[in-house]
Amino acid sequence: MYCLTQRAPPHCLRSTEIDVVVPPVSEEEPVTTPPPVAVEEPVPENNSSCPDGCTSFFDGCNTCMCSEGRIMGCTKKACRGEMEEPRCLAWEGEEEEEAAATCPDDCVTWFDGCNYCSCEEGKVSGCTKMLCHEQDGEPRCTRRRGEIGEETTPKPPTTQTPPLPAEGPEGCTPVVCPSGFAPFVSDPAACPGKNCCPDACLPEGKCSLNCEAWYDGCNSCGCTDEGQISVCTKRHCFRQGEAYCERVAPMGGAGPTLPPFSDPVPVIEEPPSSPDCAAVTCLSPTTCAAGERLETPEGECCPRCVQDCGLARCLMVECAEGELKETPKGECCPRCKMAIMAVVPSEPEISTMSVPAPAPSSVEMGGMVEEDVASVDCALVSCERPSCPQGVVAVVPEGQCCPVCPSEAPINRSGGTVEALGGSPSTQHLRSRASSAQH
């Protein structure tokens, strides 16, 4: 395990003694042996090699693994400021610390408080190379032999996931997120001792709510006050783990305000199923406007107001000359609309001279004088065109000159009829007059 903070003063881990040739000494001279001289290993001038015998080399910024004098791989940290002095961190044949070199016999994966290691026959065979500010927890075995998910060939894990118990789940249900989102564990503290599975989606490049330190499944990152991922470690991971918040910001402290996208999107859209209306509270109105009724659409739980012209109450509309009565689409009641063209069949006009007016007569009835029907001169009467419902023909009641709608007219025993849209008012009363003369 390699730490950012220096825990001990620099010291030489290994020295090489040089052979010293001692010439023969006479009996008179005392035999003296010079002390061994420590020779520093040369630091490689390029970044592709390391000192002979060195297994772990620090190049001033990153930690590298060496084999046969060549650098095999290094961490990928972005380094700022003045570089430290390059040095060898471990030599061949050196014994590691006892606590870090051993693990329980049945342990497959070991956490040493900072890094994760693979165990073989009770010995650590390989560890991750994370640089830790401080120990993250007590050393422990995170996976034992026979547990679900054990690999036949142990590999150093690259994820800091909680331990998986023997009675744990067989596997996680895959969470498929839309483009631009990534799965993450929304609350790793809610499943202690279990294998935390991702249960939500979060925009890529974002930290979860109130997170201060974010783990993206491979590297550890910091979070800005706006919820953006800032500086991260640059470890190379063989496999990607599950992302989660490593440290939540204290109450009232810094932390992002962006809530996670917690509605995973399925890979295949399933056909819509009937909703569970028992769990739905409807806020629809209980009454509708005139001409409307409540109706619950198919596949929904709450009723809506829909149009029903059978319930509509329309006002009587009288249109001016040159206008037509029309009911707009989607409405129940008619409106007046300017007629584009009104074609009225031409009929020969009947002159008032050809209809002799009978002599007026009167009948006295109970002190009231009622003018006889034949005495009415309709030629002198100006009629207004009645506004009858569509399909209803206006009639001229007996004893009157002007047409009315049948619902407004008294019982007509012998009166004639006039078409509602036919001719002008003068033509109408002339027709009425001619009809009266024929009778």
pLDDT attached to residue 360? 44
pLDDT attached to residue 318? 84
Residue 45 lies in a domain: yes
pLDDT attached to residue 96? 45
Residue 306 lies in a domain: no
- The residue with tokens 């994370």 is 130
The residues, ordered by sequence, that sit 6+ positions from 334 with a Cβ below 8 Å of its Cβ are 314, 317, 325, 326, 327, 390
Say if residue 241 is in the same domain as residue 214. Answer: yes
Say if residue 179 is in the same domain as residue 256. Answer: yes
Q: At which of 214, 248, 266 does a domain end?
A: 266
pLDDT attached to residue 384? 79
Say if residue 150 is in the same domain as residue 213. Answer: no
Taking residue 54's Cβ as centre, other Cβ atoms within 10 Å add up to 25
pLDDT attached to residue 408? 55
The total number of structural domains in the chain stands at: 4
- Burial readout 61-88 (b: 16 or more C-beta within 10 A, e: otherwise): bbbbbbeeeebeebbeeeeeeeeeebbb
Residue 208 lies in a domain: yes
Residue 336 lies in a domain: no
> What is the secondary structure of 4-33 as a DSSP string?
SS--S----S---PPP-PPPP--TTSPP--
Say if residue 77 is in the same domain as residue 145. Answer: no
pLDDT attached to residue 254? 42
Contacts 24+ apart (CB under 8 A), 195-198: 195/149, 195/161, 195/162, 195/164, 195/165, 195/168, 195/169, 196/161, 196/162, 196/242, 196/244, 197/169, 197/172, 197/173, 197/242, 198/172, 198/242, 198/243
Say if residue 110 is in the same domain as residue 183. Answer: no
Say if residue 194 is in the same domain as residue 242. Answer: yes
Q: At which of 54, 74, 94 does a domain end?
A: 94
Question: What pTM did the predictor assign?
Answer: 0.21
Say if residue 86 is in the same domain as residue 108. Answer: no
Q: Which residues of the chain are modeled with pLDDT < 70?
A: 1-48, 94-101, 129, 131-136, 146-175, 180, 188-196, 236, 238-239, 251-275, 284-286, 338-377, 379-381, 407-439
pLDDT attached to residue 379? 66
Say if residue 253 is in the same domain as residue 212. Answer: yes
Say if residue 185 is in the same domain as residue 223. Answer: yes
- 353-383: per-residue pLDDT in tens? 444 444 444 434 333 444 444 455 676 667 7
Residue 428 lies in a domain: yes
pLDDT attached to residue 147? 55
Q: What domain range is 151 assigned to?
A: 98-157
pLDDT attached to residue 182? 74
Residue 17 lies in a domain: no
